Chains A and B, each alone.
Chain A
Amino acid sequence: MIDQYASVRFNEKVAQETFLMGLESQEIANKAEPGHFVMIRVSEGTDPLLRRPFSICSVEGENLFLILYRIVGQGTLIMSKAGKGERLSVLGPLGRGFEMPQSEEVPILVAGGVGIAPIIFLAQRLGSHKALLMAGFRTSDEIVDKKVCGLLDYQISIATDDGTAGHLGFVTDLLEDHVDSNKKETPSVFACGPTPMLKKVAALTQSRGIPCQVSLESLMACGVGACQGCAVQAASAEKQAYFHVCEDGPVFYSKSIAWECLA
């Protein structure tokens, strides 16, 4: 766990309401694994009070890590205005990341909206010769270009809710089509996105016996397991009633989550 001020190298708008920020920290860049997150204090004042959690979406070179975020409230709005050279207090890398797929498995990476952040990091690590990537967005303006993601090698299957790009519908349609028409494959699914999408991915993989890891999002205060604020209900077969997204996750096997309790 590193607690330091990291310099903003760039902070660019890459899609509608969506920003890519590069932060300089050799220690965090070295330790980061796909699925890890950082807690960022967006301003030195007391309002907003709490740090914001962000998945690490890429590591470049020796001392740069990237986060991809969408303006959803006061904190991310302040963050979107951070200029080059500004120093932000960063705590990380935190959490439990993705477990890598077995060699015989075909990794299928499924992203929804800005939930593509940890999926990008995983995709870079896995390589396009191995993994398939499908991403859903609400509309074409929200699509993050694959050049920006550092995923030029990938054929990314796109779905949009309004049909302005790719498949008209949800990314889960693409996933369902793929697994049902490639039954000889041994797939392993990795997903991050809005809760309704993850619920669908969980149901779809569970009914077909496909292993699936999801990266969950939650409000957090501490990020290290101290406050127990980021509880998520565990499936009844689990030994504990609640997991804490910050320390037990943010990546979980989807079968360990009580999806019916997630709003």
Chain B
Amino acid sequence: MNSGLGQGFSILQHDDSNSCRFGLAQSRVLYARFITWNNIMDKIDLRVRIGSLELKNPVMTASGTFGYGQEFYPLVDPGQLGAVVVKGLSLKPRIGNPPPRIVETPSGMLNAIGLANIGLERFLKEKLPWLENMNAVVIVNIYGHSVAEYGEVAAGLKGVAGISGIEVNVSCPNVECGGMAFGTDPEVTARVTEQVLKNSDKPVIVKLSPNVTDIRSVARAAESAGADGLSVINTLTGMVIDIEKRVPKLANLLGGLSGPAIRPVALHKVYQVVQAVHIPVIGLGGIVNHRDALEFLIAGARAVQVGTANFMKPTATLDIIEGLRVYCEEQGIARIEDLIGTLEVN
């Protein structure tokens, strides 16, 4: 939460918790380290830039896993996060898919929520003022049924103070039109991106689908169309069958797989996209702790999003921020930006 003494100390204990019992000597070493660390801690610069957007740290929430920012309060103060990416918004409210909408899978989960949301108007009226009040950096994830509708949603956010960026969802697997149908075609992705840019005065980030033959071609299409950044990746499509009833476990049949199960896939996609484009990449997919986040940063992501981990541990984002700070201190890294893209490949 804040960078108070108690918090810092507990992180160190947590990191060493595998070897649980401290002797007196160990405690002294730990205490000495803690004093030094606490002095350095404030000097570690966790700020990152995503194009024109400056974030206080590289940890955001992933759309659809953190509601409109208020749901986990007061456990998580959204003002402490790099950014809050809110639940995907459409022009009009959407009721979402019939239940069952979720099913657990090995180290992951499938969801087919169907972009249930309160719509643009209610978001601006009922949800945004609170987020502004909390000093949260807000990125609005948007969705449309048609290329034109993406533009309309973007236009509705134009000039609205308190919104720092737009994330364009062309990768939701759980809706009939729009969503992934757009994001799997480089040309359509480019058209959606252009349409949003034309109607927006904010940085535009395009969220890519991993369910394509070559994610690099879609990434390049979005870049050429003028995107300011890319979020990589949305969920992978999947299904689960109830063998007793011989029916799909999700009413929607297919769902989007998230959680640690997809992390290596996500990491590779991020690595590929980072190599293919010049615009900033935000990495996500199964990040549950700071070590996972570090893999994405080292691979070249300028920031990360935390999704399913919020369900396992509401404070996952805050723990990751503290974990990154500790890592930087231990590695003697003054600015986290110096770590980004430092992967060495033989």
| Nearest-CB residue, chain B, relative to A225 | B71
Is A140 interfacial (CB 8 A cutoff)?
no
B101 touches A229 (CB 8 A): yes
A47 to B308, CA, bound (A): 13
| Nearest-CB residue, chain A, relative to B115 | A228
Interface string of A173-207 (1 = CB under 8 A from B): 00000000000000000000000000000000000
A101 to B291, CA, bound (A): 52
A232 touches B71 (CB 8 A): no
A227 to B61, CA, bound (A): 12
Interface string of A43-54 (1 = CB under 8 A from B): 000111111000
Is A237 interfacial (CB 8 A cutoff)?
no
Nearest Cβ in chain A — how far from B335, in angstroms?
31
Task: Give the contacting residue for A228; candidates B96, B105, B106, B312; CB below 8 A.
Answer: B96
Known: A89-B313, A226-B67, A226-B310. A49 touches B96 (CB 8 A): no
A221 touches B102 (CB 8 A): yes
Known: A221-B311, A225-B71, A226-B310. A49 touches B99 (CB 8 A): no
List chain A residues, Cβ under 8 A from B288: 46
B50-92 residues at the A interface, CB under 8 angstroms: 64-67, 71-72, 74-75, 87
Is B100 interfacial (CB 8 A cutoff)?
yes
A220 to B75, CA, bound (A): 19
Using C-beta atoms within 8 Å of the partner chain, give the interface range for chain A: 20 to 34
B260 touches A46 (CB 8 A): yes
B101 touches A228 (CB 8 A): yes
Is B190 interfacial (CB 8 A cutoff)?
no
Is B276 interfacial (CB 8 A cutoff)?
no
A226 touches B65 (CB 8 A): yes
Known: A51-B312, A219-B103. A228 touches B116 (CB 8 A): yes
Is A91 interfacial (CB 8 A cutoff)?
yes
Known: A49-B107, A51-B311, A242-B95. A224 touches B71 (CB 8 A): yes
Is A222 interfacial (CB 8 A cutoff)?
yes
> How many chain B residues touch the partner (CB < 8 A)?
37
| Nearest-CB residue, chain A, relative to B61 | A226
A157 to B103, CA, bound (A): 36
Task: Give the contacting residue for B315; candidates A3, A41, A261; CB below 8 A.
Answer: A3
Nearest Cβ in chain A — how far from B44, in angstroms?
26
A229 touches B71 (CB 8 A): no
List chain B residues, Cβ under 8 A from A224: 67, 71-72, 314
B107 touches A227 (CB 8 A): no
Nearest Cβ in chain A — how far from B218, in angstroms?
27
Is A241 interfacial (CB 8 A cutoff)?
yes
A1 touches B75 (CB 8 A): yes
B259 touches A49 (CB 8 A): yes
B311 touches A222 (CB 8 A): yes
| Nearest-CB residue, chain A, relative to B103 | A219
List chain B residues, Cβ under 8 A from A242: 95-96, 99, 116
Question: With A50-B311, A224-B314, A233-B99 given, can you name 19 additional A-B contacts, CB distance below 8 Å?
Answer: A1-B75, A48-B104, A49-B104, A49-B108, A49-B312, A219-B104, A221-B308, A222-B65, A222-B71, A224-B67, A224-B71, A225-B67, A227-B65, A227-B311, A228-B96, A230-B99, A230-B101, A242-B96, A242-B99
